[in-house]
Structure 1
Amino acid sequence: MNSTGSDPLHYTDAVELARMLRGREVSAREVVRAHLDRIHAVDPLVNAVVTRCAERAMEEAAAADERLARGASPGPLHGLPVAVKDVHDTAGLRTTHGSPIFAEHVPGADALIVERMRAAGAIVVGKSNVPEFAAGSHTFNPVFGTTRNPYDTSRSAGGSSGGAAAALAAGLHPIADGSDMGGSLRNPASFCNVVGLRPTPGRVPAWPATLLWEPLGTPGPMGRTVADTALLLSVVAGPDPRTPTALESPGAPFAEVPETGPAGVRVALAPDFGGALPVEPEVAAVVTEAGRVMERLGAAVEEVRPDFSGAEEAFRTLRAWRFHLAFGELIDAHPGRVKEAVAANAAQGSALSGGQVGRAQVALAELYHRFRAFFDRFDVLLLPVSQLAPFDAGLEYPPEVAGVPMPDYLAWMASCYWVSATGCPAVSVPGGFTSGGLPVGVQLVGPHRGERALLGHAAAFEAATRHGRRRPPLD
């Protein structure tokens, strides 16, 4: 039923499913029903799709089939099911943010990313689980509980797009929307052996939004393959007048991933950020082997120590400032009902001076120019996504990494949020497995606005390794 002729519908690549749906080899009703059945059978093990709308989804699938039968031109996502991240508004469908305060909240309109997916023909089957207010890279909340890793259900699925990544890995839907400030698309992709792209800020505009000029957070796409992720990027990218920082380039060209191989590509390799961050040895070994793969494919690989100075202070300062603006009044109105980590970050933001915020903005500018020059020398930077493999799902966060104590729930994510501070696009691609069978992603970073070439490099690595084809032991 797909390009390999062996996978069931629920594990068929999105690009192939879309082709089959357009050609009427399979109906939208069949595809949606296959995924709803898969959710019913498997989701009790992983807890990824937390609010469901099966009846509405089947009605929309029937309507999609009827439109196609009448000769209507299908959208690029025609008939593809998706569970929307539970911080993205869905008209008429509960959006909780993982918070008891919003446990019964039903928005009246779709978020822009959802609006675009629906307009392209996607069919919403439910919502994917998140940490409370999408804070942190481990998905648990008091409304729905913990999302578990399909490769080992005692382990974390990552976050904050953890429900989305786990659902992709488990075959619950073929594509997924997410968002990323400090790694929320990349970290869960690494933990769940799927692909997550953090685009250049502005590539995928966000609405509704109050901080229109804030550069750290961005929506973005996920998939089980690079091509599937690019397909979704082609739909959700592109300008919107409500987002003043949105890039003018249309999204459609991203659907075609460049097929140029890595011969002659200049790869900078930093398995442990040049010693700047603690990284578990098995994770660093996977990144080192990824460099060897690229070298065998013809790339020129050089081990480097990239200069991320200023990233730590800038990211943490601006994140705290953002949390104060986003949640300060809510915390005051609902004392004791917002998780402590969020409340503590908001309090840090409240205490910031204008000078501190200003210095953080200057540090971002310096990082941008430093990496602009870096990418004059190199085409891609190869790094760990996460500094460790998926950890015990019963923990709030890992207490240490490679023997180094982690002071809070953010510290172990620095391998992602330092990259966020540069403004560069970054993609997590399945890179291998630990000796215990846990997934490890590798992070490919490219120059500002360089998503197209970056996806091509990721696709070449993916084709050479095929780590993403290893399915979790759920059946």
Structure 2
Amino acid sequence: MASSSTLSRRSLLKVGGGLGLLAAASQITPAWATGKGTKVSVNSPEQLLSLSAVDLSQAIRGGSVSCSEVMTAYLDQIETYNPTYNAIVSLRDREQLMDEASRADTELQRGQYRGWMHGFPHAVKDLAATKGLKTSLGSPILKDWVPGHDAIFVERLREAGAIIIGKTNTPEFGLGSQTYNSVFGVTRNAYNPDLCAGGSSGGAAVAIATGMVPVADGSDMMGSLRNPAAYNNIIGFRPSQGLVPFGPTKEVFYQQLGYEGPMGRTVQDTAMLLSTMAGYDSRVPLSQKSNPTSFAGNLDTNTQGLKVAWLGDFNGYLATEPGVLDVCEQALKHFNTIGGTVEAVDMKYPMEEVWQTWLTLRHFLIAGIASGLYSKESNRALMKPEAIWEIEGGLELSAMDVYKASKARTSWYHALDKLFDTYDVVALPSAQLFPFSADTHWPKEINGRTMDTYHRWMEVVTPGTLSGCPVANVPAGFDSQGRPMGIQLIGRNKEDLKVLKIAHAYEQAAKLTQTNPTLVKS
């Protein structure tokens, strides 16, 4: 049974009272979601790039700026800063992109409006298939692969009007929370290019934070929408299992740990992108029959009486760099401002069992997905050691090993779900250490404790993944060295909109997304 208490080591959290910051949510779709609001003033490329994605959409629809002007501004930003940060890869020819932007302008002139992303430059994470555009998965084995189809969510982005300009960088096969590979190199942190970007959606997070794209898609098996968002002071959202259909793929029943989701500079931008990515697809039978338009509505909510469970480092179980908990707990005070209460909770759960469950299921899935490539000796010579370790670990598993791990996953889910009878969201740090050197593949120790695998330093994200519940990363602030950190907000399964509304209320109080990086040219 979980027990709760106020934090004795840090006098900050259990504070009642305060006024709710935001009014109850309106059920009316706001003007910015329909594109029929007032015009947004845009007087310079700099001002254009500073617009939220929602405001940019309204500016395009309202005629304040043309799709061609938008494309020019973003391509110029990429040309100026991508050599430093290496977020965008496989960038398409500028002339072709300008032609597509011009066609988008012509469509608007004719009264043809595709959707809220009409004319948006968008770069797809390099794990997702893009028809006619190289999709390497960060692997030298696949560096020349050009799919003949789009991933399901990419189909939806195109239908909503997005112009695919290229891809965002990712580690090889998306393995690891540090974005580097032998095909495109290292992606660097938006707030300090000497530091890593996180991963595996590191390119996506940095592209948003540096103003190279309005919003970005990512994917998340082991924190890949959360860790890079935390490291770059933006929003990342891992949806409930099945909300965003993962495919097309050859296996549609067992692959339930990793799937796609949205990232943005603000929660509102992130929710709008989710409204495009989410929704049932018959090709993915476990996808949810949801109402994606609900994410395009008003995110204001009544936060009076909100209750947050803070799990911290699981009573010292997790190795954590000094300062991480302090930054997060300072940030949690913002819930007090909006009328909430934060309580430290000891779940009294065997977390090592959760980790072993994770190792088994991850081995199982990665081996299933990549064993075909691994079977060729020439391919194995090109794979990074971490990929080989995952696949070989999976090949050694028995069916009973996997079944037992699934039972253990179920046990963890039930333990976490019970917390939601008392709390609205459960909070954890989004990483166990601050961004580290971009030249380090993965940290070998944290605070004197050895990391026994290449991903043990990201163990803090596995409870959220194994639950299948919605998880938002919200910025927590910066340490004394200016290194960003984030907080995971986990909600009850299928309560994605509630989590986004709480994240939005926190964002409005904390105002941390307003702290932009000082960009560096090569």
Is TM (by shorter chain) over 0.5?
A: yes
Q: Note if 1:15 corresponds to 2:54.
A: yes
Structure 2 counterpart of 1:46, one-letter code: Y
Determine the structure 2 residue equivalent to 1:62: 102
Gaps in structure 1 of 5+ consecutive residues: none
- Partner residue, 2:128: 88
1:46 matched residue in structure 2:
85
Find the partner of 2:354 among 293, 311, 322.
Answer: 311
Q: Is the 8 A contact 2:231 2:485 kept in 1?
A: yes
Measured after TM superposition, the shift of residue 257 of structure 1 is 4.2
Q: What do the CA deviations read for 1:420-471 (whole angstroms, capped 9, x no partner)?
A: 0111110111110010011111111111011101011111111111111111
Q: Which amino acid aligns with 2:85?
A: V
2:321 is matched with 280
- The alignment partner of 2:323 has SS state of helix
Q: Is structure 2 residue 473 aligned with structure 1 residue 434?
A: no
Aligned-partner residue type, residue 160 of structure 1: S
RCO higher in structure (CA 8 A, sep ≥6): 2
Q: Does 1:271 align with 2:312?
A: yes
- The C-alpha deviation readout for 1:174-217, integer Å capped at 9, x for no partner, is 10011000111101000111110000110000112233122211
- For the pair 1:184 / 2:224, whether they are aligned, the reply is yes
Q: How far apart are residue 4 of structure 1 and its match?
A: 11
Pairing partner for 1:134 from 159, 174, 179? 174
Tell me: CA distance 1:362–1:197, structure 2 relative to 1, closer, same or farther (3 Å): same
CA distance in 1, matches of 2:137, 2:48: 30
Quote the residue 1:107 is aligned against. 147
The more displaced of 60-69 and 195-204 is: 60-69
Structure 1 residues 287, 261: CA separation in 2 closer, same or farther (over 3 Å shift)?
farther
Evaluate the alpha carbon distance shift between residue 73 and residue 458 of structure 1 in structure 2; reply closer, same or farther with a 3 A threshold: same
User: Is 1:205 paired with 2:245?
Assistant: yes
Instruction: Tell me the distance in 2 between the aligned counterparts of 1:366 and 1:406.
Output: 26
Deviations 1:126-185 (A, max 9, x none): 110000011110000000000000111111000000000011111000100110001111
- Looking at structure 2, the residues matched to 442 and 245 of structure 1 have their Cα atoms a distance apart, in angstroms, of 29
Q: Which amino acid aligns with 1:276?
A: Y
Aligned-partner Cα distance in 1 for 2:494–2:98:
38
User: 1:450 maps to what in 2?
Assistant: 495
Runs of 4+ in 1 over 4 A off after TM superposition: 1-7
Structure 2 Cα separation of the partners of residues 125 and 11 of structure 1: 19
In the TM superposition, residue 308 of structure 1 has moved relative to its aligned partner by 6.3
**Residue range with higher mean Cα deviation, 113-122 or 288-297:** 288-297
What letter corresponds to residue 33 of structure 1 in structure 2? T
Aligned equivalent of 1:384: 429
Structure number, greater radius of gyration:
2
The one-letter amino acid of 1:311's match is V
- How far apart are the structure 1 equivalents of 2:186 and 2:47? 27
| Matched residue SS, 2:90 | strand
What letter is aligned with 1:281? Answer: P
Structure 1 residues 403 and 4: CA distance shift in structure 2, 3 A: farther
Letter of the structure 2 residue corresponding to residue 92 of structure 1: G
Please name the residue that 1:403 is paired with. 448
Q: Is the 8 A contact 2:248 2:284 kept in 1?
A: no
Runs (5+) with no aligned partner, structure 2: 1-38
SS in 2 for 1:281: coil
Trace 1:453-464 onto structure 2 (pairs within 5 A): 453-464=498-509
Partner of 2:22: none
Aligned partners of 2:494 and 2:41: how far apart in 1?
A: 31
1:215 matched residue in structure 2: 256
- 1:147 is aligned, of 172, 177, 187, to 187
Deviations along 1:251-273, whole A, 9 cap, x unmatched? 11111242014211111112223
| Residue 329 (structure 1) aligns with | 372
Determine if contact 1:90/1:114 at 8 Å carries over to the other structure.
yes
**2:428 and 2:303 mapped to 1: Cα distance?**
17
Asked if the contact 2:320/2:447 (under 8 Å) is kept, the reply is yes
Name the aligned partner's letter for residue 172 of structure 2.
E
Residues in 2 aligned to 1:267 and 1:76: alpha-carbon distance in whole angstroms: 33
Task: With the length of structure 2 as denominator, give the TM-score of the two structures.
Answer: 0.88
SS in 1 for 2:315: helix
